[in-house]
Each structure stands twice: as structure tokens, then as C-alpha cells.
Amino acid sequence: MNKETSWKLTCGSVFWTLLLVSGAAAQDLPTILDVQVENSVLYVGDVADQSRLARSPAPVAPVPQAQAGNFTRNVFLADVTAINGIAAKGEVVSMVQVLRLNTSPPISAAIADANRPAANHVVYEFLKADGVSYGTLWGMELVGAAGGLSIVGGTGAFLGARGSATVLDANPVQRVTSQAEDPSMRRINGGGRFRSVFQIFPMFRPEVLLGDSGPALFHADFSLVTAASPARPGETLIVYARGLGPTIPSLNPGGVFPSEQLAVATSPVEVLVNGRSSPAINQVGVPGTSDTYRVDFRVPDETVAGLANLQLSAAWVKGAAVRVPVQ
């Protein structure tokens, strides 16, 4: 954006500053992420000779776990290829600590009150098409225990998220090989595929800001959208919001968005009008604020006259809907 655009962004925010308050709180419903995963491979920790690690271009049959013993560590790698049916990028990295818990343990297995082969620590990283990371989800599980993967935290757009994840449609869930195999060949040698369906409760949600006159929603000339001056189908509008997550450049704790370089939100942002998606045209931090964003979007052509529901979504996390007049 040029300096004139940056200046207009700042002026628009100053005009509205005294009236900004948080929008209505969203219902505390979980966000669902249906994540398609491919090229999944489990690399079994069966290589004692360090010079043999990750050297073979072809798959190598792993040593059976009973022969490998206990307390070894396996590594799981896979690719994120779609989120909620939309093409995506990213990776899944898991450190699988073998424990061999067993109620009647053979030699080297561990005595326990349940049969659990391992403990799993996993991270999913989600990337935009250009490779920019917009968030991670971290999980833990005792393999075989009830409940599946427990989400214990996240970063970026999913900062502080909690929840759970379940594996579906495994076909197969993974290919198993020795850690002697070169992992640079993973996509060539192939692997399993599955879906991870996440149910997460985010720490924050994107919210349309409200003022004394209603939602902070403006026409392109910065005049307020009101019943006397309603939005029109096909029109580009400006909405001010909070909770869109990290930006490039990033903010230091306690910092404010700069004026010399507009900070762009890294999360996929869309505006839903009566449930119809309108991808953000711009999604930038307002200079001088720490959590106020300007989002430009186009009102869908199919929007009918009357009061429309307008809702923000960032990284598939939805905020509360507000009502806006449409002519």
C-alpha cells in the first residue's frame, strides 16, 4: 500500500477511536478443523550406528519392536494438504516415545495396568500457499488410551488453544520404515494418508468492533454504514476488528502496529455475509494500535436487502455475528 492509503487507514481509525468497544462475545462453540494429511511415514528408531541414519534412498524394513527393545524413540513425519476442504500446506511432526506398557509384560516391556505401546508428542504447523506460517497446534497422547490426541496449546492464530483431535479415514495411517531411510525421499517413496479432525477452543476470536452507532463498518469514503446509508451488494466496505492474530512484521509484546510499514495479518481472513464467504482484500493492523485491524471486503452480489448477518473468520475461527443494513 502507498503512503496515502496508510494515512487514510490511520485517519479512519482516529475518527472512530473514541467509540470502539469489543463486539458481542461469540458463543463458546468449538472450531472444527478437518485436516487432510498425506505422505505419512513412521521412522522406527532401530539404528545404533549413527553413520547409517537417514542414508538409504530406498525404504528399509524396520527391526520389529520386540527385537528393538524398549525406550526407543520413533519419528513420524507427514504433510498437511487441505484444511476444511481447501488446499493448504504444512507438516506434522511427532516424537513417539516407545514404552510398551503391558499388564503381562514380556522381557523389556513395562509393567502397567493397561496395554499402551507409546506416548506421542505431536505438532501440526499450518502454512499459507506462499509458505508463511500462521499457526501451530500442539498435542499429546498416550497411544491407545481413550480420547485420542489432547490439544494442549498452540501458537500464532491458535495461541493458547485447547481441544482434541481424532484420526479418521486412515488408508493406511502411515508407512513404517527404519530410520536408516533418507527422509528427503519421503514424498517419492510415499506414505499413508488420513484426516485429523480437530475440535479446538481458541483463546481469542475475531470480532467486529462496535461503537455507539453500531458496527464499525464503513463505505470506501469512510462514511458509516447505517440504515440511512446501507451497504449495497457488490460494494467494497471497510470493517474494523480485533483478534485477527499475528502479523508480518510481527509485534513485540506491548508494541503497536507501525505506520511506516503496514502490518499484514498472516491468518486466512474472510468475511461471512449471511453465511456467504468474501475473502479479505486487505487485512492490516491499524497504526498506533495493538489489536485493531482494518479489513476490506466485497459484499457478495447475492446479498438480499434487509438486515444481514456479518461475521469474521480468521484461520477458520469464527467470531460473533453483527447485524448490518443492506439495500
Cα–Cα distance measured from residue 280 to residue 237, given in angstroms and rounded to the nearest whole number = 10
Residue 275 has pLDDT above 90, yes or no: yes
Alpha helices in the chain (DSSP H): 3-16, 65-68, 186-189
- Domains in the chain, start-ordered, CATH in brackets? 3-26+205-326 (no CATH), 31-201 (2.40.480)
3-state secondary structure of 217: strand
Residue 143 has pLDDT above 60, yes or no: yes
CB 140, CB 152: distance < 8 Å: yes
Cell numbers that stand for 185 in this block: 525421499
Give the residue from 315, 323, 319, 325 showing the smallest Cα distance to 86.
315
Position 228 scores a pLDDT of 96
Cα–Cα distance measured from residue 139 to residue 164, given in angstroms and rounded to the nearest whole number = 8
Residue 20 has pLDDT above 50, yes or no: no
Average pLDDT for residues 35-43, to the nearest whole number? 98
Average pLDDT, the chain: 91
Cα–Cα distance measured from residue 102 to residue 260, given in angstroms and rounded to the nearest whole number = 61
Give the residue from 98, 149, 97, 99 showing the smallest Cα distance to 124.
149
Provide the whole-model pTM.
0.88
Residue 99 has pLDDT above 90, yes or no: yes
213: confidence class by pLDDT, cuts 50, 70, 90: confident
CA dist 78 to 32, 103, 236, 245, 301, Å? 20, 32, 40, 26, 40
pLDDT digits (tens, 9 = 90+) for 286-318: 999 999 999 999 999 999 999 999 999 999 999
- The proportion of the chain whose per-residue pLDDT surpasses 90, expressed as a percent, equals 85
Residues sharing a CB contact under 8 Å with residue 124, sequence separation 6 or more, in sequence order = 35, 80, 90, 91, 92, 136, 137, 139, 196
The partner residues of 175 in beta bridges, in order of sequence, read 41
